[in-house]
Chain A
Amino acid sequence: ETGVTQSPTHLIKTRGQQVTLRCSSQSGHNTVSWYQQALGQGPQFIFQYYREEENGRGNFPPRFSGLQFPNYSSELNVNALELDDSALYLCASSQGQGANTEAFFGQGTRLTVV
Chain B
Amino acid sequence: DAKTTQPPSMDCAEGRAANLPCNHSTISGNEYVYWYRQIHSQGPQYIIHGLKNNETNEMASLIITEDRKSSTLILPHATLRDTAVYYCIVRSPYTGAGSYQLTFGKGTKLSVIP
- In the docked arrangement, what's the CA distance between A42 and B99, Å? 18
- In the docked arrangement, what's the CA distance between A41 and B100, Å? 20
What residues of chain A lie closer than 8 Å to B106, measured between beta carbons?
41-42
A42 touches B104 (CB 8 A): yes
Q: A33 contacts which of B31, B32, B92, B101 (Cβ < 8 Å)?
A: B101
- In the docked arrangement, what's the CA distance between A2 and B93, Å? 23
- In the docked arrangement, what's the CA distance between A19 and B7, Å? 37
What residues of chain A lie closer than 8 Å to B68, measured between beta carbons?
none
- In the docked arrangement, what's the CA distance between A47 and B92, Å? 16
| B11 to A: closest C-beta gap in Å | 20
A100 touches B32 (CB 8 A): yes
Q: Is A61 an interface residue (CB 8 A)?
A: no
**B87-114 interface code vs A (CB 8 A; 1 in, 0 out):** 1000111100111111111110000000
Q: Is A105 an interface residue (CB 8 A)?
A: yes
What residues of chain B lie closer than 8 Å to A44, measured between beta carbons?
104
**A27-45 interface code vs B (CB 8 A; 1 in, 0 out):** 0000001010000011111
| B109 to A: closest C-beta gap in Å | 11
A97 touches B100 (CB 8 A): yes
- In the docked arrangement, what's the CA distance between A97 and B96, Å? 10
23 CB contacts below 8 A, A to B, read: A33-B99, A33-B102, A42-B87, A42-B105, A42-B106, A43-B44, A44-B104, A45-B101, A55-B99, A56-B98, A56-B99, A56-B101, A90-B43, A92-B44, A97-B94, A98-B94, A99-B30, A99-B91, A102-B34, A102-B46, A105-B36, A105-B43, A107-B42
